[in-house]
Amino acid sequence: MARRNASSSSGGFLFKTGLFAALAGLAYFLFNQFGGNKIGGPVDERPPVVLEDKSVPKSKVSDDSTFVTLEMLPVSKAETVLHTWFALGYNEDHEQAEWVAYELTRARLNENWAERPNSFRPDPDVRTESATPRDYSSSGYDKGHLCPAADMAFDVRAIDETFYMSNISPQRAPFNMGIWRELEELARDWARKFKRLYVVTGPVLTQGSLGQIGFSKVTVPGSFYKVLLAPDQQRAIGFIIPNQISDQPVMTYACSIDEVEEATGINFFPKLLSGLGEELEASLDRDAWPVNQNRQNQRVKQWNIRR
């Protein structure tokens, strides 16, 4: 009898111990679910929620941050910065890009244009820090786009990134809104004609500086260049234009890519123009690049006078 009582007492003890453990475990679970930080550390140590960025097309395959065709990039000593639809080589000594490269296509130009944001700001991707809009305040120079906003108007992010100050260079107003504008519009004409163009453009920083502006000491270039390659038709042309008003035809300033390389010290399309392409690089065929005479007349009679 005593033995049976001992067994009963032992069983009761075990039951109570098990019940207590179960209740303690339940309390611990409820506390972690509703009464404090969840298992895995404090709230501020938990990984952030990553939302899908729907502004970036799914077709991007060249790398995680850019659609730029890397083989079209020039070779120079500048810091290379890749944006979504264009790349640039930033020159810290002059606080601006010495080249900006991108592809200009008929399909993108035919898209509905996104609204122009006019949100000039420093480029967060330039390691050495870019110039700022304040550098241009009261300077007498326009914030001149190297990659034009209109060339990137097919996409909200693309046009917005053209307002990074790394894509801006000091331009005289009659140049910016005159012959430089005409050349930009001609490039769009040629992209529609040839279906696609590779474009590299920038200031000539190796000669003819017009001084500096702003706290960052941004160099004012004496001239600007643009290099165009129609890869499917194997046509190429370059331009070097002084940073000033001009009544001359655009083709007055046309030259070979070799001449632009000599003036800038930059090697353009090295992967595309090696071998047989070197002959194309050294040649100049103005007739292969038709010009709209009405646009030239509009520049001389309206754009130049207005600014």
Across 29-58, b (16+ Cβ under 10 Å) vs e yields: eeeeeeeeeeeeeeeeeeeeeeeeeeeeee
Active site residues: 145
Q: What 3-state DSSP class applies to 119?
A: coil
Give the burial string for 233-270 (b: 16+ CB within 10 Å, else e).
eebbbbbbbbbebbeebbeebbbbbbbbbebbebebbe
Scan for tokens 């033995």, then name that residue: 3
Tell me the CA distances in angstroms from 200 to 37, 106, 211, 295, 303, one per residue in order.
54, 17, 24, 22, 25
| Pair 97, 146: CB distance under 8 Å | yes
| Amino acid in position 202 | G
The string of DSSP letters for 84-100 reads SSEEEEEETTTTEEEEE
| Element holding 179 (H helix, E strand) | helix 179-194
First to last CA, the chain: 116
C-alpha dist (Å) from residue 23 to 6, 14, 26, 33, 38: 26, 14, 5, 15, 19
What backbone torsions phi and psi does residue 109 show, to the nearest 5 degrees? -65, -25
